[in-house]
Structure 1
Amino acid sequence: MMVLAGLTACGETPPTTPTTASEPLHAVYATKPDFSAITDVKQRKSTFFDYLRPAVVFENQRIEGERQFLLDIQQQMDAGQQLGSDVMAQVNDLSLAYMVTLNSDAVTQPWLDSMLKRVDVLPESLVLSQAANESGWGRSRFAVEGNNYFGQWCYREGCGLVPSGRTEGASHEVAVFASPHLSVKAYFMNVNRNPAYAELREIRALQRQAGQRVEGQRLAEGLHRYSERGHAYVDEIQSMIKHNNQYWRQG
Protein backbone atom coordinates (compact mmCIF):
# COMPACT_ATOMS: atom_id res chain seq x y z
CA MET A 1 0.00 0.00 0.00
CA MET A 2 1.49 3.30 -1.05
CA VAL A 3 2.38 6.12 1.31
CA LEU A 4 2.24 9.11 -1.03
CA ALA A 5 -0.91 7.41 -2.10
CA GLY A 6 -2.84 8.77 -5.02
CA LEU A 7 -4.88 11.74 -3.95
CA THR A 8 -2.85 12.41 -0.86
CA ALA A 9 0.42 13.67 -2.27
CA CYS A 10 -0.93 17.21 -2.29
CA GLY A 11 -3.53 16.79 0.40
CA GLU A 12 -6.41 16.39 -2.01
CA THR A 13 -9.62 14.54 -1.25
CA PRO A 14 -11.51 12.30 -3.64
CA PRO A 15 -13.96 13.99 -5.99
CA THR A 16 -17.55 14.26 -4.84
CA THR A 17 -19.15 10.88 -5.44
CA PRO A 18 -22.65 10.72 -6.90
CA THR A 19 -25.18 8.19 -5.70
CA THR A 20 -24.70 4.75 -7.19
CA ALA A 21 -28.00 5.04 -9.03
CA SER A 22 -26.62 7.91 -11.13
CA GLU A 23 -23.42 6.16 -12.14
CA PRO A 24 -23.15 5.16 -15.82
CA LEU A 25 -21.55 1.83 -14.84
CA HIS A 26 -23.81 1.07 -11.90
CA ALA A 27 -25.10 -2.17 -13.46
CA VAL A 28 -21.56 -3.34 -14.24
CA TYR A 29 -20.49 -2.98 -10.60
CA ALA A 30 -23.68 -4.13 -8.90
CA THR A 31 -21.86 -7.31 -7.84
CA LYS A 32 -18.22 -7.85 -6.95
CA PRO A 33 -16.26 -11.06 -7.54
CA ASP A 34 -14.72 -12.74 -4.50
CA PHE A 35 -11.15 -12.56 -5.73
CA SER A 36 -9.84 -14.39 -2.64
CA ALA A 37 -11.91 -17.41 -3.61
CA ILE A 38 -10.29 -17.67 -7.04
CA THR A 39 -7.29 -19.93 -6.52
CA ASP A 40 -6.15 -20.22 -10.13
CA VAL A 41 -3.73 -17.34 -10.73
CA LYS A 42 -4.51 -16.88 -14.40
CA GLN A 43 -8.25 -16.92 -13.75
CA ARG A 44 -7.86 -14.39 -10.91
CA LYS A 45 -5.87 -12.09 -13.16
CA SER A 46 -8.28 -12.24 -16.06
CA THR A 47 -11.28 -11.81 -13.74
CA PHE A 48 -9.67 -8.82 -12.01
CA PHE A 49 -8.66 -7.08 -15.23
CA ASP A 50 -12.03 -7.73 -16.88
CA TYR A 51 -13.81 -6.42 -13.78
CA LEU A 52 -12.08 -3.03 -13.71
CA ARG A 53 -11.58 -2.61 -17.47
CA PRO A 54 -15.04 -1.09 -18.19
CA ALA A 55 -14.31 1.79 -15.78
CA VAL A 56 -10.91 2.39 -17.41
CA VAL A 57 -12.50 2.41 -20.87
CA PHE A 58 -15.24 4.77 -19.69
CA GLU A 59 -12.80 7.24 -18.12
CA ASN A 60 -10.54 7.25 -21.16
CA GLN A 61 -13.54 7.91 -23.41
CA ARG A 62 -14.62 10.76 -21.14
CA ILE A 63 -11.15 12.26 -21.27
CA GLU A 64 -10.88 11.82 -25.03
CA GLY A 65 -14.06 13.88 -25.37
CA GLU A 66 -12.66 16.61 -23.12
CA ARG A 67 -9.37 16.59 -25.00
CA GLN A 68 -11.12 16.89 -28.36
CA PHE A 69 -13.03 19.87 -26.98
CA LEU A 70 -9.71 21.54 -26.14
CA LEU A 71 -8.25 20.71 -29.55
CA ASP A 72 -11.32 22.27 -31.19
CA ILE A 73 -10.67 25.42 -29.15
CA GLN A 74 -7.08 25.41 -30.40
CA GLN A 75 -8.37 25.37 -33.98
CA GLN A 76 -10.76 28.22 -33.28
CA MET A 77 -8.00 30.28 -31.68
CA ASP A 78 -5.64 29.60 -34.59
CA ALA A 79 -8.39 30.80 -36.94
CA GLY A 80 -8.90 33.95 -34.87
CA GLN A 81 -12.46 33.00 -33.93
CA GLN A 82 -14.25 34.18 -30.80
CA LEU A 83 -15.30 31.56 -28.27
CA GLY A 84 -19.02 31.47 -27.52
CA SER A 85 -20.55 31.71 -24.06
CA ASP A 86 -21.47 28.01 -24.05
CA VAL A 87 -17.88 27.11 -24.88
CA MET A 88 -16.58 29.37 -22.13
CA ALA A 89 -18.94 27.78 -19.61
CA GLN A 90 -17.41 24.39 -20.38
CA VAL A 91 -13.94 25.92 -20.30
CA ASN A 92 -14.58 27.17 -16.78
CA ASP A 93 -15.82 23.75 -15.67
CA LEU A 94 -12.71 22.02 -17.03
CA SER A 95 -10.45 24.70 -15.56
CA LEU A 96 -11.83 23.98 -12.10
CA ALA A 97 -11.83 20.21 -12.55
CA TYR A 98 -8.19 20.07 -13.64
CA MET A 99 -6.98 22.87 -11.35
CA VAL A 100 -5.52 25.10 -14.06
CA THR A 101 -6.23 28.76 -13.34
CA LEU A 102 -8.04 30.65 -16.09
CA ASN A 103 -6.55 34.16 -15.97
CA SER A 104 -8.90 37.07 -16.69
CA ASP A 105 -11.63 34.59 -17.70
CA ALA A 106 -9.98 34.23 -21.12
CA VAL A 107 -8.45 31.24 -22.87
CA THR A 108 -4.75 31.84 -23.48
CA GLN A 109 -2.20 29.63 -25.20
CA PRO A 110 -0.33 28.88 -21.95
CA TRP A 111 -3.62 27.80 -20.33
CA LEU A 112 -4.46 25.57 -23.29
CA ASP A 113 -0.97 24.05 -23.31
CA SER A 114 -1.23 23.27 -19.60
CA MET A 115 -4.67 21.75 -20.02
CA LEU A 116 -3.63 19.53 -22.90
CA LYS A 117 -0.88 18.08 -20.71
CA ARG A 118 -3.42 17.18 -18.06
CA VAL A 119 -6.43 16.18 -20.13
CA ASP A 120 -5.14 13.01 -21.72
CA VAL A 121 -5.64 9.25 -21.56
CA LEU A 122 -3.93 6.70 -19.35
CA PRO A 123 -3.15 3.27 -20.85
CA GLU A 124 -5.10 0.39 -19.35
CA SER A 125 -1.84 -1.52 -18.86
CA LEU A 126 -0.67 1.16 -16.42
CA VAL A 127 -4.00 1.66 -14.65
CA LEU A 128 -4.80 -2.02 -14.22
CA SER A 129 -1.26 -2.91 -13.13
CA GLN A 130 -1.36 -0.27 -10.43
CA ALA A 131 -4.81 -1.39 -9.35
CA ALA A 132 -3.61 -4.99 -9.03
CA ASN A 133 -0.50 -3.92 -7.16
CA GLU A 134 -2.23 -1.56 -4.74
CA SER A 135 -5.22 -3.80 -3.99
CA GLY A 136 -3.54 -7.19 -3.89
CA TRP A 137 -5.56 -8.25 -6.93
CA GLY A 138 -8.77 -6.97 -5.35
CA ARG A 139 -8.28 -8.88 -2.09
CA SER A 140 -7.19 -6.05 0.21
CA ARG A 141 -9.46 -4.84 2.98
CA PHE A 142 -9.67 -1.43 1.33
CA ALA A 143 -10.77 -2.87 -2.01
CA VAL A 144 -13.30 -5.24 -0.45
CA GLU A 145 -14.80 -2.81 2.09
CA GLY A 146 -14.17 0.55 0.42
CA ASN A 147 -13.94 -0.05 -3.35
CA ASN A 148 -10.50 1.54 -3.13
CA TYR A 149 -8.18 -0.10 -5.67
CA PHE A 150 -5.40 2.50 -5.72
CA GLY A 151 -4.68 3.23 -2.06
CA GLN A 152 -6.09 6.78 -2.19
CA TRP A 153 -6.04 8.62 1.12
CA CYS A 154 -8.34 11.25 2.59
CA TYR A 155 -7.85 13.50 5.61
CA ARG A 156 -11.23 14.32 7.14
CA GLU A 157 -12.08 12.26 10.21
CA GLY A 158 -14.53 9.56 9.22
CA CYS A 159 -13.93 9.99 5.49
CA GLY A 160 -12.71 6.45 5.04
CA LEU A 161 -11.16 3.38 6.68
CA VAL A 162 -8.45 3.75 9.30
CA PRO A 163 -5.35 1.70 8.37
CA SER A 164 -4.49 -0.84 11.04
CA GLY A 165 -0.81 0.11 10.92
CA ARG A 166 -1.28 3.88 10.89
CA THR A 167 1.54 5.76 12.61
CA GLU A 168 0.61 7.30 15.94
CA GLY A 169 -0.39 10.93 15.45
CA ALA A 170 -1.23 10.46 11.75
CA SER A 171 -4.68 11.59 10.61
CA HIS A 172 -5.07 10.06 7.17
CA GLU A 173 -7.65 7.43 6.32
CA VAL A 174 -8.04 5.25 3.24
CA ALA A 175 -10.82 6.73 1.12
CA VAL A 176 -14.07 4.84 0.60
CA PHE A 177 -15.85 4.96 -2.77
CA ALA A 178 -19.45 4.14 -3.61
CA SER A 179 -18.28 1.92 -6.47
CA PRO A 180 -15.09 0.65 -8.15
CA HIS A 181 -15.79 3.05 -11.04
CA LEU A 182 -15.48 6.04 -8.73
CA SER A 183 -12.17 4.74 -7.42
CA VAL A 184 -10.90 4.53 -11.01
CA LYS A 185 -12.19 8.04 -11.74
CA ALA A 186 -10.44 9.43 -8.67
CA TYR A 187 -7.21 7.76 -9.77
CA PHE A 188 -7.44 9.29 -13.24
CA MET A 189 -8.07 12.78 -11.87
CA ASN A 190 -5.27 12.38 -9.36
CA VAL A 191 -2.63 11.30 -11.88
CA ASN A 192 -3.77 13.93 -14.38
CA ARG A 193 -3.67 16.94 -12.07
CA ASN A 194 -1.53 16.21 -8.98
CA PRO A 195 1.83 18.05 -9.04
CA ALA A 196 3.49 14.86 -7.82
CA TYR A 197 2.93 13.27 -11.25
CA ALA A 198 3.98 16.18 -13.47
CA GLU A 199 6.84 14.03 -14.79
CA LEU A 200 4.40 11.38 -16.01
CA ARG A 201 2.39 14.03 -17.82
CA GLU A 202 5.55 15.45 -19.39
CA ILE A 203 6.54 12.00 -20.66
CA ARG A 204 3.07 11.58 -22.14
CA ALA A 205 3.21 15.00 -23.81
CA LEU A 206 6.55 14.12 -25.39
CA GLN A 207 5.09 10.86 -26.70
CA ARG A 208 2.26 12.89 -28.25
CA GLN A 209 4.66 15.38 -29.83
CA ALA A 210 6.71 12.55 -31.34
CA GLY A 211 3.57 10.95 -32.80
CA GLN A 212 4.03 7.91 -30.58
CA ARG A 213 1.41 5.82 -28.85
CA VAL A 214 0.83 6.76 -25.21
CA GLU A 215 2.42 3.71 -23.61
CA GLY A 216 2.22 2.41 -20.03
CA GLN A 217 5.79 1.18 -19.58
CA ARG A 218 7.20 4.62 -20.32
CA LEU A 219 4.59 6.52 -18.32
CA ALA A 220 5.33 4.40 -15.26
CA GLU A 221 8.69 6.17 -15.00
CA GLY A 222 6.78 9.22 -13.77
CA LEU A 223 5.29 7.36 -10.79
CA HIS A 224 8.30 7.35 -8.46
CA ARG A 225 6.44 9.62 -6.04
CA TYR A 226 3.42 7.32 -5.89
CA SER A 227 5.12 5.18 -3.25
CA GLU A 228 7.79 5.65 -0.62
CA ARG A 229 9.62 2.85 -2.45
CA GLY A 230 10.36 5.29 -5.27
CA HIS A 231 12.07 3.78 -8.28
CA ALA A 232 11.74 0.24 -6.90
CA TYR A 233 7.97 0.76 -7.14
CA VAL A 234 8.33 1.96 -10.74
CA ASP A 235 10.35 -1.14 -11.59
CA GLU A 236 7.65 -3.34 -10.07
CA ILE A 237 4.84 -1.70 -12.05
CA GLN A 238 6.86 -1.93 -15.27
CA SER A 239 7.54 -5.61 -14.57
CA MET A 240 3.81 -6.23 -14.04
CA ILE A 241 2.97 -4.48 -17.31
CA LYS A 242 5.47 -6.61 -19.20
CA HIS A 243 4.60 -9.88 -17.45
CA ASN A 244 0.86 -9.45 -18.06
CA ASN A 245 1.14 -8.26 -21.65
CA GLN A 246 -1.28 -10.93 -22.88
CA TYR A 247 -4.13 -9.25 -21.00
CA TRP A 248 -3.78 -5.74 -22.45
CA ARG A 249 -6.11 -4.54 -25.16
CA GLN A 250 -4.23 -1.25 -25.48
CA GLY A 251 -1.20 0.50 -24.02
Structure 2
Amino acid sequence: MIKNIRRSVIASGALVLFGCAEPEKVAEETKQDTRPDFNVMEDVSAKKQAFFDFLRPAVVAENTRISEERTFLLAIQAQTHAGQSINQSELDEARQLGDSYNLELTENQLTEQWLNKMLIRVDTLPEALVLSQAANESGWGTSRFAVEGNNFFGQWCYTPGCGMVPNARNEGARHEVAVFSDAGQSVHAYFMNMNRNRAYAELREIRAQQRASGNRLTGLKLAEGLHRYSERGQDYVSEIQGMIRHNKQYWQQG
Protein backbone atom coordinates (compact mmCIF):
# COMPACT_ATOMS: atom_id res chain seq x y z
CA MET A 1 0.00 0.00 0.00
CA ILE A 2 2.78 2.43 0.82
CA LYS A 3 4.83 3.51 -2.16
CA ASN A 4 8.60 3.47 -2.10
CA ILE A 5 9.84 7.07 -2.28
CA ARG A 6 13.07 9.00 -2.04
CA ARG A 7 13.72 12.31 -0.32
CA SER A 8 14.39 15.62 -2.02
CA VAL A 9 14.14 19.25 -0.99
CA ILE A 10 11.57 21.30 -2.83
CA ALA A 11 9.96 24.65 -2.22
CA SER A 12 6.45 25.44 -3.31
CA GLY A 13 5.75 29.13 -3.75
CA ALA A 14 8.16 32.01 -3.44
CA LEU A 15 9.32 32.12 0.13
CA VAL A 16 9.39 28.85 2.02
CA LEU A 17 11.75 25.88 1.86
CA PHE A 18 10.05 22.51 2.05
CA GLY A 19 10.99 18.86 2.12
CA CYS A 20 9.16 16.84 -0.49
CA ALA A 21 9.14 13.27 -1.74
CA GLU A 22 9.24 12.19 -5.34
CA PRO A 23 8.25 8.64 -6.30
CA GLU A 24 10.97 6.37 -7.71
CA LYS A 25 8.27 4.75 -9.81
CA VAL A 26 5.05 6.58 -10.60
CA ALA A 27 1.95 4.42 -10.95
CA GLU A 28 0.80 4.03 -14.53
CA GLU A 29 -2.40 5.94 -13.88
CA THR A 30 -0.36 9.01 -12.89
CA LYS A 31 1.91 8.92 -15.91
CA GLN A 32 1.48 11.96 -18.15
CA ASP A 33 3.61 11.02 -21.17
CA THR A 34 1.70 13.23 -23.60
CA ARG A 35 -0.23 16.39 -23.02
CA PRO A 36 -2.24 18.85 -25.07
CA ASP A 37 -0.46 21.91 -26.40
CA PHE A 38 -2.24 24.46 -24.25
CA ASN A 39 -0.40 27.34 -25.94
CA VAL A 40 -2.25 26.87 -29.21
CA MET A 41 -5.73 26.52 -27.73
CA GLU A 42 -7.84 29.60 -28.42
CA ASP A 43 -11.22 28.51 -27.07
CA VAL A 44 -11.09 29.33 -23.35
CA SER A 45 -13.67 26.77 -22.24
CA ALA A 46 -12.07 23.99 -24.27
CA LYS A 47 -8.64 24.91 -22.92
CA LYS A 48 -9.84 24.80 -19.32
CA GLN A 49 -11.58 21.47 -19.84
CA ALA A 50 -8.48 20.00 -21.49
CA PHE A 51 -6.23 21.27 -18.71
CA PHE A 52 -8.37 19.90 -15.91
CA ASP A 53 -8.92 16.59 -17.71
CA PHE A 54 -5.16 16.25 -18.23
CA LEU A 55 -4.23 16.62 -14.55
CA ARG A 56 -7.32 15.10 -12.92
CA PRO A 57 -6.19 11.43 -13.19
CA ALA A 58 -3.03 12.22 -11.21
CA VAL A 59 -5.09 14.04 -8.56
CA VAL A 60 -7.43 11.07 -8.29
CA ALA A 61 -4.46 8.70 -7.99
CA GLU A 62 -2.92 10.74 -5.17
CA ASN A 63 -6.19 11.00 -3.26
CA THR A 64 -6.70 7.25 -3.68
CA ARG A 65 -3.23 6.54 -2.29
CA ILE A 66 -3.77 8.86 0.65
CA SER A 67 -7.22 7.42 1.38
CA GLU A 68 -5.67 3.95 1.61
CA GLU A 69 -2.95 5.21 3.94
CA ARG A 70 -5.55 6.98 6.09
CA THR A 71 -7.73 3.86 6.24
CA PHE A 72 -4.72 1.92 7.51
CA LEU A 73 -4.04 4.49 10.24
CA LEU A 74 -7.69 4.56 11.32
CA ALA A 75 -7.71 0.75 11.52
CA ILE A 76 -4.58 0.80 13.68
CA GLN A 77 -6.15 3.46 15.89
CA ALA A 78 -9.30 1.34 16.29
CA GLN A 79 -7.16 -1.66 17.27
CA THR A 80 -5.34 0.30 19.96
CA HIS A 81 -8.62 1.68 21.33
CA ALA A 82 -9.93 -1.87 21.54
CA GLY A 83 -6.83 -3.00 23.40
CA GLN A 84 -5.66 -5.20 20.54
CA SER A 85 -1.96 -5.65 19.91
CA ILE A 86 -0.23 -4.41 16.76
CA ASN A 87 1.77 -7.04 14.89
CA GLN A 88 5.25 -6.48 13.51
CA SER A 89 4.06 -6.11 9.92
CA GLU A 90 1.64 -3.37 10.90
CA LEU A 91 4.30 -1.65 12.97
CA ASP A 92 6.74 -1.76 10.05
CA GLU A 93 4.12 -0.28 7.73
CA ALA A 94 3.32 2.46 10.23
CA ARG A 95 7.03 3.26 10.59
CA GLN A 96 7.47 3.50 6.82
CA LEU A 97 4.43 5.74 6.53
CA GLY A 98 5.72 7.95 9.34
CA ASP A 99 9.06 8.31 7.58
CA SER A 100 7.26 9.38 4.40
CA TYR A 101 5.41 12.13 6.24
CA ASN A 102 8.38 13.27 8.37
CA LEU A 103 6.84 12.03 11.61
CA GLU A 104 8.96 9.16 12.81
CA LEU A 105 7.89 6.80 15.57
CA THR A 106 9.45 7.63 18.93
CA GLU A 107 11.31 4.69 20.47
CA ASN A 108 9.46 2.38 18.12
CA GLN A 109 6.19 3.11 19.94
CA LEU A 110 2.85 3.52 18.16
CA THR A 111 1.23 6.07 20.46
CA GLU A 112 -2.15 7.79 20.32
CA GLN A 113 -0.36 11.13 20.01
CA TRP A 114 1.57 9.91 16.95
CA LEU A 115 -1.59 8.55 15.34
CA ASN A 116 -3.46 11.81 15.89
CA LYS A 117 -0.64 13.83 14.36
CA MET A 118 -0.42 11.46 11.41
CA LEU A 119 -4.14 11.66 10.73
CA ILE A 120 -3.81 15.44 10.45
CA ARG A 121 -1.15 14.99 7.76
CA VAL A 122 -2.46 11.94 5.93
CA ASP A 123 -5.62 13.26 4.35
CA THR A 124 -6.96 14.10 0.91
CA LEU A 125 -7.16 17.44 -0.90
CA PRO A 126 -10.18 18.64 -2.93
CA GLU A 127 -9.55 18.57 -6.66
CA ALA A 128 -10.92 22.12 -6.98
CA LEU A 129 -8.05 23.37 -4.80
CA VAL A 130 -5.36 21.30 -6.51
CA LEU A 131 -6.43 22.06 -10.07
CA SER A 132 -6.99 25.77 -9.39
CA GLN A 133 -3.49 26.12 -7.99
CA ALA A 134 -2.06 24.18 -10.92
CA ALA A 135 -3.81 26.50 -13.37
CA ASN A 136 -2.68 29.58 -11.46
CA GLU A 137 0.95 28.52 -11.01
CA SER A 138 1.45 27.18 -14.54
CA GLY A 139 -0.52 29.76 -16.55
CA TRP A 140 -2.95 27.01 -17.58
CA GLY A 141 -0.08 24.75 -18.58
CA THR A 142 1.70 27.31 -20.76
CA SER A 143 4.58 28.38 -18.51
CA ARG A 144 8.14 27.47 -19.41
CA PHE A 145 8.40 25.37 -16.26
CA ALA A 146 5.24 23.39 -17.04
CA VAL A 147 6.17 22.84 -20.69
CA GLU A 148 9.85 22.00 -20.21
CA GLY A 149 9.89 20.65 -16.65
CA ASN A 150 6.40 19.22 -15.99
CA ASN A 151 6.25 21.58 -13.00
CA PHE A 152 2.66 22.75 -12.54
CA PHE A 153 2.88 24.15 -9.00
CA GLY A 154 5.95 26.42 -8.94
CA GLN A 155 7.96 24.00 -6.81
CA TRP A 156 11.57 24.91 -6.12
CA CYS A 157 14.69 22.85 -5.45
CA TYR A 158 18.03 23.94 -4.00
CA THR A 159 20.69 21.50 -5.21
CA PRO A 160 22.72 23.00 -8.09
CA GLY A 161 21.54 21.47 -11.32
CA CYS A 162 18.37 20.03 -9.78
CA GLY A 163 16.09 21.99 -12.09
CA MET A 164 15.80 25.08 -14.28
CA VAL A 165 17.23 28.47 -13.31
CA PRO A 166 14.52 31.17 -13.41
CA ASN A 167 15.30 33.97 -15.85
CA ALA A 168 14.33 36.59 -13.25
CA ARG A 169 16.11 35.02 -10.25
CA ASN A 170 17.43 37.68 -7.89
CA GLU A 171 21.17 38.14 -7.53
CA GLY A 172 22.49 35.82 -4.85
CA ALA A 173 19.48 33.51 -4.94
CA ARG A 174 20.28 29.83 -5.35
CA HIS A 175 16.92 28.22 -5.95
CA GLU A 176 15.97 26.48 -9.18
CA VAL A 177 12.56 25.41 -10.42
CA ALA A 178 12.21 21.66 -9.99
CA VAL A 179 11.96 19.40 -13.01
CA PHE A 180 9.78 16.28 -13.02
CA SER A 181 9.72 13.38 -15.45
CA ASP A 182 5.98 13.77 -15.89
CA ALA A 183 3.04 15.76 -14.55
CA GLY A 184 2.09 12.95 -12.17
CA GLN A 185 5.32 13.45 -10.23
CA SER A 186 4.61 17.17 -9.97
CA VAL A 187 1.17 16.42 -8.54
CA HIS A 188 2.67 13.92 -6.10
CA ALA A 189 5.26 16.45 -4.92
CA TYR A 190 2.52 19.05 -4.43
CA PHE A 191 0.45 16.69 -2.28
CA MET A 192 3.44 15.83 -0.11
CA ASN A 193 4.28 19.51 0.30
CA MET A 194 0.77 20.34 1.43
CA ASN A 195 0.53 17.37 3.76
CA ARG A 196 3.81 17.47 5.62
CA ASN A 197 5.49 20.87 5.55
CA ARG A 198 5.10 23.30 8.40
CA ALA A 199 4.22 26.16 6.06
CA TYR A 200 0.82 24.54 5.53
CA ALA A 201 0.06 23.57 9.11
CA GLU A 202 -2.82 26.05 9.02
CA LEU A 203 -4.38 24.32 6.02
CA ARG A 204 -4.06 20.96 7.72
CA GLU A 205 -5.65 22.29 10.91
CA ILE A 206 -8.57 23.69 8.91
CA ARG A 207 -8.98 20.31 7.23
CA ALA A 208 -8.85 18.47 10.56
CA GLN A 209 -11.48 20.80 12.00
CA GLN A 210 -13.71 20.16 8.99
CA ARG A 211 -13.29 16.43 9.53
CA ALA A 212 -14.05 16.68 13.24
CA SER A 213 -17.22 18.67 12.63
CA GLY A 214 -18.41 16.26 9.94
CA ASN A 215 -18.22 18.84 7.18
CA ARG A 216 -17.25 18.06 3.60
CA LEU A 217 -13.75 19.10 2.62
CA THR A 218 -13.93 21.94 0.10
CA GLY A 219 -11.31 23.82 -1.86
CA LEU A 220 -12.79 27.16 -0.82
CA LYS A 221 -12.34 26.40 2.88
CA LEU A 222 -8.91 24.81 2.64
CA ALA A 223 -7.63 27.69 0.50
CA GLU A 224 -7.78 29.81 3.66
CA GLY A 225 -4.59 28.02 4.71
CA LEU A 226 -2.54 29.08 1.67
CA HIS A 227 -1.15 32.36 3.02
CA ARG A 228 2.42 31.07 2.87
CA TYR A 229 2.21 29.56 -0.59
CA SER A 230 2.91 32.97 -2.13
CA GLU A 231 4.49 36.20 -0.96
CA ARG A 232 1.17 37.79 -1.93
CA GLY A 233 -0.47 36.26 1.14
CA GLN A 234 -4.20 36.98 1.42
CA ASP A 235 -4.35 38.29 -2.13
CA TYR A 236 -3.18 34.88 -3.34
CA VAL A 237 -5.76 33.12 -1.16
CA SER A 238 -8.52 35.32 -2.57
CA GLU A 239 -7.34 34.70 -6.12
CA ILE A 240 -7.42 30.92 -5.71
CA GLN A 241 -10.86 31.08 -4.10
CA GLY A 242 -12.03 33.23 -7.00
CA MET A 243 -10.76 30.65 -9.48
CA ILE A 244 -12.54 27.86 -7.59
CA ARG A 245 -15.83 29.76 -7.74
CA HIS A 246 -15.45 30.86 -11.34
CA ASN A 247 -14.68 27.36 -12.60
CA LYS A 248 -17.16 25.43 -10.47
CA GLN A 249 -18.77 23.85 -13.57
CA TYR A 250 -15.58 21.85 -14.12
CA TRP A 251 -15.27 20.27 -10.68
CA GLN A 252 -16.23 16.66 -10.19
CA GLN A 253 -15.79 17.00 -6.43
CA GLY A 254 -14.91 19.73 -3.89
How does the TM-score come out when normalised to structure 2?
0.93
Equivalent position to 2:45, from 39, 42, 57:
42
Superimposed CA distance per residue, residues 140-193 of structure 1 (whole angstroms, 9 cap, x where no aligned partner): 000000000000000000000000000011000000001100000000000000
* 2:172 is equivalent to residue 169 of structure 1: yes
Residue identity matched to 2:58:
A
Equivalent position to 2:27, from 4, 14, 23:
23
Residue-pair matches, total: 244
Equivalent position to 1:64, from 63, 67, 74:
67
Question: What is the Cα deviation at residue 23 of structure 1?
Answer: 3.4
Residue 120 of structure 1 aligns with which residue?
123
Equivalent position to 1:143, from 127, 146, 152:
146
Question: What is the Cα deviation at residue 73 of structure 1?
Answer: 0.5
Residue 8 of structure 2 aligns with which residue?
none
Higher deviation after alignment, 228-237 or 102-111: 102-111
SS for the counterpart of 2:166 is: coil
Equivalent position to 1:198, from 185, 201, 207:
201
Kept in 1, the 8 Å contact 2:95–2:104? The answer is no
Kept in 1, the 8 Å contact 2:227–2:233? The answer is yes
Kept in 2, the 8 Å contact 1:10–1:195? The answer is no
Residue identity matched to 1:112:
L
SS for the counterpart of 2:28 is: coil
Runs of 4+ in 1 over 4 A off after TM superposition: none
* 2:9 is equivalent to residue 9 of structure 1: no
SS for the counterpart of 2:177 is: strand
Which whole-Å CA distance do the structure 2 matches of 1:168 and 1:197 have between them?
A: 28
What CA RMSD, in Å, does the superposition of the two structures yield over aligned residues? 1.4
Residue identity matched to 1:25:
E
Question: What is the Cα deviation at residue 11 of structure 1?
Answer: 4.1
Which whole-Å CA distance do the structure 2 matches of 1:16 and 1:208 have between them?
A: 27
* 1:83–1:7 distance in 2 versus 1, CA, 3 Å: farther
Kept in 2, the 8 Å contact 1:7–1:154? The answer is no
1:147-158 superposed matches below 5 A: 147-158=150-161
Kept in 2, the 8 Å contact 1:8–1:154? The answer is no
Residue identity matched to 1:15:
A
Which whole-Å CA distance do the structure 1 matches of 2:169 and 2:200 have between them?
A: 24
SS for the counterpart of 1:104 is: coil
Kept in 2, the 8 Å contact 1:6–1:191? The answer is no
Superimposed CA distance per residue, residues 206-244 of structure 1 (whole angstroms, 9 cap, x where no aligned partner): 100111101110000000000000000000000000000
* 2:111 is equivalent to residue 105 of structure 1: no
Superimposed CA distance per residue, residues 86-126 of structure 1 (whole angstroms, 9 cap, x where no aligned partner): 10111111110001131111111110000000000000000
Superimposed CA distance per residue, residues 65-90 of structure 1 (whole angstroms, 9 cap, x where no aligned partner): 00000000011000111111110111
Which whole-Å CA distance do the structure 2 matches of 1:179 and 1:69 have between them?
A: 28
SS for the counterpart of 1:25 is: helix
Residue identity matched to 2:96:
D
Which whole-Å CA distance do the structure 2 matches of 1:69 and 1:59 have between them?
A: 16
Residue 187 of structure 2 aligns with which residue?
184
Higher strand share: 2
